[in-house]
Structure 1
């Protein structure tokens, strides 16, 4: 059974996939207390430390923890297109470089680095890759969309899957292990009526919201449910069909669901349990800490569980083959 250390662990969405593939978290680190508490609730056997990684001594921790896999998701805010036109914070980006001392001291067989694909445009991205390679790792640079792994969300991310023993892993290798189902945004919606909607046309409703809804109604016809996309790239007119995967979940409220009562459209925001389903974390994952806003942020910061599950399945298959050949 593979053991892993989880840096920038968030609420443990990526870890949920790793555990589903048979791995065990032994140590997790995150600077946000609420994320650390959420992780601990989901994986009580792991030690969870709330701290920036640069404030910890990996040499001391390496005496206690010997992971097979070092799983890392450095802060992506300053790389992400979702941040709009705000200038990037170089210190935020440099959290990725901060993993190097952990690699050097823990010497895991496997290293996984997850981030937004725009990280490749960062000036120090190649420096990071070269540094990883200098420790003897083969770096498999993969660009994966969670929707290709049965997740009801189109979330495109970079994954560096690195092996000390030279394994070459391709996107096609992972596709061979992925779930064959394709899930739509419709599948994440709680249709029970527990979440109350308000009429779309109401006092103080922003005109931009109404305009987006009316573009959807014009395209779909009246009486058809759909999702409004409040911000981000507006290439589809600020709305999307329920029959497509949800667009990327971010750290603030982004999606509103428009439904109909007779001929009247109603609107409500998607709720954390629905976003949890969009992350592919399933009903076993707990979001038991924090406010509604906090829970949305936890989802937006997460790694889609089925993608990480598939990566860990591939790693496990390589490890199993190695053990058989050695015996």
Structure 2
């Protein structure tokens, strides 16, 4: 069973995937109290720290915390396409480099770094990879789509999978450890949920929302449900079919569900329980803390569980091989 330390742990979606893949959380850290409270609720046996990574000395834990895996998901807002043309904060980007002392202190066999794929354009990305390699790790630099691993969300992220024993891994190899199901947005929608929908064509509805909906109706025809997609760079008309994986969940409300009563369209936003399911949380992962906006943010900040499950299953298989070779 690979034991892990979870930096930038968020609400624990990555940890949920790791646990589903056979892992055990020892220690977790995040600066947001809602995230750490959520993590502690879901993984009560883990030690959880609420603080900024640069304020915590990892060497005070090195004698009693012995992880096999260091799981990290540094702040991604400075790299994300959701920022549009705004310049990124170098201080925010430095959080990625901030994992290095933890690698040095913990000496795990594996290090996993997850971030948005635009991080590759960051001028210190190669420096981070080189630094990890200089610590005697072999780095597999991968771009993974959660939909390929059985997720109902198409979330493309960069993963650095680093092994101190020199094992490389490819995307295709990891996919074999994932679920072979192909899920869509339809699979996470609670059709019988008691959620408030309002008339699409109500007074005061924003014109861009109506335009997005009308483009979908023109394509699909009437009386067919679909999802309006807000925010971000959008070259798909501002909507998506419920038969495709949900597009990337962000830290703000992004998805409106259009349904029909007879020939009349209604609109509501997707709810945190639905977004949680699209992140791979399922029924077992709970969001007991925070208001609705904060729960949406927890989902948008998370790591898709299904991808981490596959990575930890791969890690477990290699850990078992390592033990057998020692016998």
In the alignment, structure 1 residue 42 sits paired with structure 2 residue 15: no
- Report the counterpart of residue 136 of structure 2 in structure 1: 136
User: How much does 1:234 deviate?
Assistant: 1.9
User: How much does 1:233 deviate?
Assistant: 2.1
TM-score, normalising length: structure 2: 0.99
Whether the 8 Å CA contact 1:281–1:306 is kept in 2: the answer is no
User: How much does 1:63 deviate?
Assistant: 2.1
- Report the counterpart of residue 322 of structure 1 in structure 2: 322
In the alignment, structure 1 residue 296 sits paired with structure 2 residue 296: yes
- Report the counterpart of residue 123 of structure 2 in structure 1: 123
For residue 201 of structure 2, give the secondary structure of its aligned residue in structure 1.
Answer: coil
Matches of 2:34 and 2:54, distance apart in 1? 19
Matches of 2:242 and 2:16, distance apart in 1? 26
- Report the counterpart of residue 97 of structure 2 in structure 1: 97
Matches of 1:168 and 1:189, distance apart in 2? 37
Equivalences for residues 40-119 of structure 1 within 5 A: 40-119=40-119
- Report the counterpart of residue 195 of structure 2 in structure 1: 195
User: How much does 1:2 deviate?
Assistant: 1.1
For residue 314 of structure 1, give the secondary structure of its aligned residue in structure 2.
Answer: helix
For residue 236 of structure 2, give the secondary structure of its aligned residue in structure 1.
Answer: coil
For residue 96 of structure 1, give the secondary structure of its aligned residue in structure 2.
Answer: helix
- Report the counterpart of residue 7 of structure 1 in structure 2: 7
Runs of 4+ in 1 over 2 A off after TM superposition: none
- Report the counterpart of residue 244 of structure 2 in structure 1: 244
Q: Deviations over 1:100-138 (max 9, x none)?
A: 111111111110000001001000011100100001000
- Report the counterpart of residue 287 of structure 1 in structure 2: 287
For residue 95 of structure 1, give the secondary structure of its aligned residue in structure 2.
Answer: helix
- Report the counterpart of residue 172 of structure 2 in structure 1: 172
Task: Give unmatched runs, 5+ long, in structure 1.
Answer: none
Matches of 2:186 and 2:105, distance apart in 1? 46
For residue 228 of structure 2, give the secondary structure of its aligned residue in structure 1.
Answer: strand
Matches of 1:64 and 1:114, distance apart in 2? 26
Matches of 2:178 and 2:28, distance apart in 1? 26
Matches of 1:193 and 1:7, distance apart in 2? 34
Please tell me the root mean square deviation across aligned C-alpha atoms, in Å: 0.7
User: How much does 1:153 deviate?
Assistant: 0.5
Matches of 2:252 and 2:282, distance apart in 1? 21
For residue 266 of structure 1, give the secondary structure of its aligned residue in structure 2.
Answer: strand
Q: Deviations over 1:171-207 (max 9, x none)?
A: 1111211211100101110011411200000111000
Matches of 1:319 and 1:230, distance apart in 2? 43
Whether the 8 Å CA contact 2:2–2:315 is kept in 1: the answer is no
- Report the counterpart of residue 223 of structure 1 in structure 2: 223
User: How much does 1:255 deviate?
Assistant: 0.3
Task: Give unmatched runs, 5+ long, in structure 2.
Answer: none
Matches of 2:193 and 2:4, distance apart in 1? 40
Matches of 1:65 and 1:319, distance apart in 2? 18
- Report the counterpart of residue 312 of structure 2 in structure 1: 312
Matches of 1:3 and 1:225, distance apart in 2? 43
